[in-house]
A and B are shown apart, each in its own frame.
Chain A
Amino acid sequence: MSDTLADNTAKTGPSDGLAVLESRRSPAETYGIPLAVLLEVTHRCPLQCPYCSNPVELDRGSTELTTEEWKKVLSELAELGVLQIHFSGGEPTARKDIVELVQHATDVGLYSNLITSAVLLTKDKLSALADAGLCHVQISFQGNESIVADRVAGLKDAHRKKLEVAKWTRELELPLTVNAVMHRQNLHQLADIIQMAVNLDADRLEVANVQYYGWALKNRAALMPTIAQIEETSRIVEEAQVRLKGTLAIDYVVPDYYALRPKKCMGGWGRQFFNISPAGKVLPCHAAESITGLEFESVRSNHSIAWIWQNSEAFNRYRGTGWMPEPCKSCEFREEDFGGCRCQAFALTGDAGNTDPACTLSPMHEKIFKLAETEAAAEQNRFLYRNFAGGTLETEHGQDNGQDNGHGA
């Protein structure tokens, strides 16, 4: 996911044209309903990427919303004015009803995007999804060849399968985004990954550096790039953006550990984004459940999604600037980055209400930056693979076979 969604439109706050939701009761109602919503329809996934953005405490299959519940959610979102739906996970195609859900999104007028690892897709299934009105396919790649890519995914033969599905996607004339999550173990392949995206006839490439919370934080020592790698990455991306203008659009997410100022995470807490977890929790960001002490409302509660967005305690806690401590409170950039990322502040300082340590103005910044540098240089390369069992450590000589580590929960 990139945060460029609102690019030309909802750039700022409540005054812009696309952030209109009638305001009658609480101040939060001045926040318009988001243009796009991410649905994590399942946490089940055949891949075990060590930087997975799902929470460490995964939702079991038995807690997932039913087909009818998801359909009701889709109808409700369309009625509220949401325009786009991202079907994500886990692996969204691990749900047997994915075609039915995409069809329902189409029926209620939603633009749909499938964010997939691709490894479970057959040509027939992809074709059925296209017929159901799927508008866009986004396939994750872990490298540009099998050795690195299958190791990172923790699944044999995954890379070959992804290439095949990407080819089918273009044969069906569906637009394709290649999503490449980058870290110390695969950054050396970036130039080749860009070329791979061109060869696959992708329309877009997302080059996203790992964001460090949840699983990625557990794997930070194995994933953190060096400063030299990051500088090289930026150079490669910028060169490619110019060279491939009109052929391949490249969105670039910089790693915030090496930034001077924090990212405007999610466009600001509760401002323009929410997602719904497999069990139906409505969340300000996909990592939000990592913040303990916040109660998130469910679509299974008696509240409407609009009410949850506007009025729930979790959404209002860090909205706007009123919650901010110093140095954010008096900072001239407070409405530009909204204090950075709440999940990162929680993970690194123990309090989600602190300034994101990615910011140089945070008292924690120096310490964390040094730690990142030390970890990047230490060559501790073993992964803790993501699974329902709380993670499995990679064997000494690369993973042997991670396929059976409880992904089917």
Chain B
Amino acid sequence: MAGRNISVSETSRPKLPRHARLKFDETRKVWVILAPERVLAPDEIAVEVLQLCDGERSVSDIAGLLAEKYAAPREAIATDVVAMLQDLADKGFLTEAREKTP
């Protein structure tokens, strides 16, 4: 199994799975996530978080960057980011960077 049941924590290094693409829709002027049979319209905060999800940064790194940018308490941001990413993961729109096994 591909291990789709991921549990997001501060040490996770999340990224969008191959079948989900984050894209700016020029026609409608909104960000969208394209996935099989679905188009999601993430809100501004989700877009900002997802743009940082490159499979290299950990959730902790991401929370740190956002805390700095918005001069907000890191703990509160980390909690929100984990909850949002877990929700996306449950829906199948988020995966974790995996070590490639030969």
The residues of A with any CB-CB pair to B shorter than 8 Å are: 1-2, 4-9, 17-18, 20-21, 32-33, 35-36, 80-81, 83-84, 109, 111, 113, 135-136, 138, 170, 173-175, 177, 201, 203-204, 245-247, 249, 251
Q: Is the CB of A9 within 8 A of B41?
A: yes
Tell me how far the C-beta of A174 lies from the nearest C-beta in chain B, rounded to whole angstroms: 7
What is the CB-to-nearest-CB distance from A191 to chain B, in angstroms, rounded to a whole number?
Answer: 19
Whether A7 lies near B38 (C-beta < 8 A) is yes
Selected A-B contacts with CB under 8 Å, 16 pairs: A6-B39, A7-B39, A18-B41, A21-B27, A81-B27, A83-B32, A83-B39, A111-B21, A111-B34, A113-B36, A135-B34, A170-B2, A175-B19, A177-B37, A246-B92, A247-B1
Whether the pair B39, A36 counts as a contact (CB closer than 8 A) is: yes
Q: Which residues of A contact B56 (CB under 8 A)?
A: none
Closest 5 CB pairs of A and B: A81-B27, A175-B19, A111-B34, A246-B5, A136-B36
Do residues B27 and A7 form an inter-chain contact, with CB atoms below 8 A? Answer: no
Complex Cα spacing A247 to B6, Å: 10
- Asked if B39 and A35 make an inter-chain contact with CB atoms under 8 angstroms apart, the answer reads yes
Find chain A residues with CB under 8 A from B37 CB: 1-2, 4-5, 36, 113, 177, 204, 251
CB proximity of A207 to chain B, nearest CB, Å: 14
A173 touches B18 (CB 8 A): yes
Does B90 belong to the interface (CB within 8 Å)? Answer: yes
A340 CB to nearest B CB, Å: 22
- In the complex, whether B28 has a CB less than 8 A from a CB of chain A is yes
Q: Is the CB of B34 within 8 A of A83?
A: yes
B55 within 8 A of A: no
Additional A-B contacts beyond A81-B27, A135-B19 (15; CB < 8 A): A4-B37, A7-B38, A8-B40, A17-B28, A21-B27, A33-B27, A81-B26, A81-B28, A84-B39, A135-B21, A135-B34, A135-B36, A175-B19, A203-B92, A246-B4
B27 adjacent to A5 (CB under 8 Å): no
Known: A36-B39, A173-B18, A204-B36. A17 touches B30 (CB 8 A): yes
Determine the residue in chain B with the shortest Cβ distance to A82: B27
A180 CB to nearest chain B CB (Å):
15
- What is B's interface to A at a CB cutoff of 8 Å? 1-2, 4-5, 17-19, 21, 23, 25-28, 30, 32, 34, 36-41, 90, 92
Which chain B residues border A83 with CB–CB below 8 Å?
23, 25, 32, 34, 39
CB distance from A367 to the nearest CB of B (A): 35
Q: Distance (Å) between the CB of A134 and the closest chain B CB?
A: 10
**Chain A residues with CB below 8 A from B1, complex form:** 201, 247
Q: Which of A6, A9, A36, A136 is within 8 Å of B19, CB to CB?
A: A136
CB-based contact A177/B41 at 8 Å? no
Q: For A245, what are the chain B residues with a Cβ–Cβ distance below 8 Å?
A: 90
Instruction: Report the separation of the CA atoms of residues A135 and B34 in the bound assembly, to the nearest whole angstrom.
Output: 10
Given A17-B28, A84-B34: A175 and B18 interface contact (C-beta under 8 Å):
yes
Q: Which residue of B lies closest to A19 (CB)?
A: B28
Taken together as a complex, chains A and B put the C-alpha atoms of A33 and B27 apart, in Å, by 10
Question: Known: A246-B4, A246-B5. Contact between A81 and B30, CB under 8 A?
Answer: no
Cβ of A7 to closest chain B Cβ, rounded Å: 6
C-alpha spacing A243/B96, complex, angstroms: 22
B1 to chain A, nearest CB (A): 6
A247 with B5, Cβ < 8 A, contacts A17-B28, A135-B21 known: yes
Nearest-Cβ distance from residue B31 to partner chain A, whole angstroms: 11
Question: In the complex the two chains form, what is the Cα distance from A332 to B21 in whole Å?
Answer: 38
Q: How far is the CB of B14 from chain A (nearest CB, A)?
A: 15
Nearest residue in B to A16 (C-beta to C-beta)? Answer: B41
Instruction: Indicate whether A138 sits within 8 Å of B36 (C-beta atoms), given known contacts A173-B18, A201-B1.
Output: yes
CB < 8 Å neighbour of B39 from A9, A109, A136: A9
Bound together, the chains give a CA A372 to CA B1 distance in angstroms of 41
Q: Is the CB of A5 within 8 A of B4?
A: no
Known interface pairs A17-B28, A17-B30, A247-B5. Does A175 touch B36 (Cβ–Cβ under 8 Å)?
yes
